[in-house]
Amino acid sequence: MKAAGRQKLDQRAFLEQVHECWDNGYLLSSKKIGSGAFSKVYLAYATQERMRHNSKLASDLRGKRHTMVAIKIVSTAEAPAEFSRKFLPREISSLNATYKHLNVVQLYETFANSRRTYLVLELAARGDLLEHINATSAHRRCPGLEEEEARRLLWQLVSAVAHCHNSGIVHRDLKCENILLDDRGCLKLSDFGFANRSGLKNSLLSTFCGSVAYTAPEILMSKKYNGEQADLWSLGVILYAMVTGKLPFKECQPHRMLYLMRRGPTFRPGLSPECQDLIRGLLQLRPRARLALQQVATHHWMLPAAHALFCTTLCAIPEKPEKPQLQTSLDNVEPSADSDPPRSLLQLWRPQLQGTSHESASSLTPEPPGACPRQVADSARLQLWRTETAGRRVGRSRHPLLLCSIWSVPGHYLVS
């Protein structure tokens, strides 16, 4: 009887939500795609009428060629007052601040009434990274992802986190469950419920956030911490989880956890030494000793990601009347004084405007129909040009993740 009563209430609440969404231009489906402490996330469809009035939504969905969105319904009437007053506004303002990055879930708009707040989000239909790791491990009959796939995903994650940090936002809850994948396998960082403004570069935070297994030791020790450096620790845990299918440190007791952290991670046989080195570089007890994001992106283990992106795209570039002088081999060529020196690697993560970069990419590198595989066209476009000093700056990336010059230096491509 009690259960039946509860079900009736749920049905009534759901119908109210359908009406409230409809009044705001969305058709709410009954497909629940997730739930959080005070929220439920449903698949929904944007109406043509809504798209006419919301250019942010219209331009993004036009690119995706569908009208699906995810609507997160937060029950503010049931949530603690502090959640509605503090955390929810922070989540919304963080999503607004990080808007327009290919690897950060997009917030198209919000609407609210006295009982609920609705967040209309970009849909990431393929579930979260944890599910993906588990499914892949089962399929391969070997725990973890292939290093190549982990590298591709980490590259996108680093780009997303750098975009957040450059926008003054620290995520503070980076974990596999908060990393979603869309229908093209593109990574989308989500759940900014614990995010905060990083404020001054060196200002310290004190709130305990995130999940213990991903939490930096300085937070477990209740010290004041730098949010960006704490995010770097979590990145190390995520990379470890991707390549081993396990968490590096798993203990319920914080003191036991700290003991394991001090000992450092152990690795399965067969994991490449470069990957181990990158994980160790991130899982440094001393926050300042951790690799910075630009060091992660240029780490030996990561370079094939930039390299692969670069080389696969070359196949996709149609012949031009004047062929660019492209250096494909990694010869010993060093930058000379007459070419621009590589600028800060941080440029790699200049806010990469999702729509704009796609648009400019397509207009700069027109493709004849059927000239290149779709995923290549979608995932990477490079605009090459002839340099006066041939063999130095070998290309200019138009990829939304890699808006940078690509330099050939002995043994590596260096992105700047």
Residues engaged in binding ligand ATP (CB under 6 A): 33-39, 41, 70, 72, 105, 121-124, 128, 177, 180, 190-191, 193
Report the residue number, 183 or 340, with the smaller CB distance to ligand ATP: 183
Active site amino acids: 173
DSSP annotation string for 337-380: TTSPPP--GGGGGS---HHHHHHHHHHHS---TTSS-HHHHHH-
Residues 181, 356: Cα–Cα separation, whole Å: 22
> Which residue bears the tokens 């990158």?
278
Are the C-beta atoms of residues 300 and 274 closer than 8 Å to each other?
A: yes
Could you tell me if 272 and 147 are in contact, meaning their C-beta atoms sit under 8 angstroms apart?
yes
Nearer to ligand ATP, 177 or 251 (CB): 177
Instruction: List the one residue out of 185, 180, 242 whose CA is nearest residue 33.
Output: 180
Instruction: State the Cα–Cα distance between residues 222 and 219, nearest whole angstrom.
Output: 5
Question: Residue by residue, what is the 3-state secondary structure of 135-178?
Answer: HHHHHHCCCCCCHHHHHHHHHHHHHHHHHHHHCCEECCCCCHHH
Q: Which is nearer to ligand ATP, 36 or 411 (CB)?
A: 36
Q: Give the alpha-carbon dihedral of 73, 74, 78, 82, to 10 degrees.
A: -170
What SS3 class is residue 214? Answer: helix
Residue closer to ligand ATP by CB (options 179, 415) is 179
**Quick one: 131 or 251, whose CB is closer to ligand ATP?**
131
Residue with tokens 């919304």: 92
CB of 359 to ligand ATP, least distance (A): 23
Q: Shortest distance, CB of residue 182 to ligand ATP, whole angstroms?
A: 8
SS3 263: helix
Q: Which two tokens stand for residue 408?
A: 């050939």
- Minimum distance, C-beta of residue 73 to ligand ATP, in the bound complex (Å): 10
Q: Report the nearest approach of ligand ATP to the CB of residue 33 (Å).
A: 5
Of 84 and 397, the one with the shorter C-beta distance to ligand ATP is: 84
Least distance in angstroms from the C-beta of 173 to ligand ATP: 7
Q: Which is nearer to ligand ATP, 38 or 349 (CB)?
A: 38
Sign of CA dihedral 277, 281, 283, 284: positive
Least distance between ligand ATP and beta carbon 136 (Å): 17
Min CB(280)–ligand ATP separation in Å: 29
Strands 179-181 and 405-409 turn out to be unpaired
Q: Whose CA is closest to 207, among 184, 230, 190?
A: 230
